[in-house]
Structure 1
Amino acid sequence: MKCIIVDDEPLARDVLEGYAKQMDQLEVIAVCANAVEAFGYLQKHKIDLMFLDIKMPKINGMELLESLNPIPLVVFTTAYREYAIKAFELDAIDYLLKPISLGRFMKSVAKANKFLNGNLDPDRLASPTETISKPTLSDEPELLYIKSQRKIVKLDLSEISYLESLNDKVIIHSGTNKINTTQRIGYLAEKLPKKQFIRIHRSFIVSADKVTAFNSIMVEVNGKELPVGRNYRSQAMEVLQDRAK
């Protein structure tokens, strides 16, 4: 399958291209940094599959798709859940939430391959709720991409101990490193797998695997006691106590 990758984030493009190059079924024939560039390319070349970001400058991914005729087979790749319904109204074959794991990417490629070979009924493509429902452990992302000091930084989720919101920034404590980002803690909470990371306070999210002790008012991570907020206590204790059984 000849495929094109369209995403305005360099690191996201690199990740998808790296995944695609590991698969014999795919041939990456173009990588575009925005929708305008992709539109120009698609006027001159035929493709089988497009991996398409949604939020991009000037023209977003959905506007690009609506401008094409015929519309190619599309897998949306985005950090935002709220566009899923619209994506499937545009007949997208899949909807991948960033950060995207290799396993989840492979499932999309397999689906596209079946479709192109006539083995998948287009009326039975996954619905938005099927695609973005709560993942199993094997489907949960292993990486987190954040904006830090004008760069996109890739973090291994297994190394993150906790996130701390402080004034106008969030500090991500990962191993011996501290990475600062201006992205809000609520936004990051949505990107993190819920089975692995627990919101314990308006200013703290902890990795459940890094918790060494806890009670109703504090959680200990890496020898540091972090407060448990009243509004988060019930849910946090339920998750931690369940893991302690």
Structure 2
Amino acid sequence: MNFACRLGTTTENSDYYMGCNGWTRAGHKCYQIYDGPKNSWNDASRMCHSLGARLLRVESLDERDWVEWQLTDESHPNVYWSGLNDRATEGTYLWEDGTLANSSLIRWNQEPNSWFGDEDCAGIRQDGHYNDYDCFLQAPAICEYTGSPCPPGWNTWSTTNPVCYYVTTLNNTFTWDEANTFCNKDKAQPGQQTPTLLAVNSQAEQTFINTLLAKQQLSPRSWWTGLN
């Protein structure tokens, strides 16, 4: 019988490096939280760019909650540079790439106040609140980039919180144990979460699976899943 493998990359499994080359995966992004070195905002931005990344840009409530959770460890510094700034127009906060920040996703610490008009760059504190600071403040940074959603030959159904699927063809048939071993070992990617036989967790996912299987050429009558 044929089968489908599932490679999860949800925020709940954020410690896996799927497509992130050693950075921490959460949803469709890869993150690196640097406790050092400390740099000005411009130098922190250049550091992230030298790594093919950018300073932190929060785009959803889930992402905001995840980032805040990452900073709760008391061993972390008090503040990190984010990409948030109002250097172009006072009071209009943009991310580093010029994207207008969604104010509902920014929790200010009784800020911004642009003390003496010299605070145009925002850092995120250990408690998840933002402060505007002088852009020459020396602080560590959080870098991020958009990771590759799936390995070659796999399919995904959500770009914001991807799970990857691999479906075998009519030429590849296995017993259940063989299929399970194939997913766990033969389809494993270096430094990534171990794939498993298919587990469906929502109606939306089931609908996607139905559509995916309907597109298979020379399809068998059924596929193995992880249900047992």
TM-score by length of 1: 0.29
Specify which structure has the higher proportion of helix: 1
> Per chain length, whose mean CA-contact separation is higher, i.e. which structure has more relative contact order (CA < 8 Å, sep 6+)?
2
TM-score by length of 2: 0.30
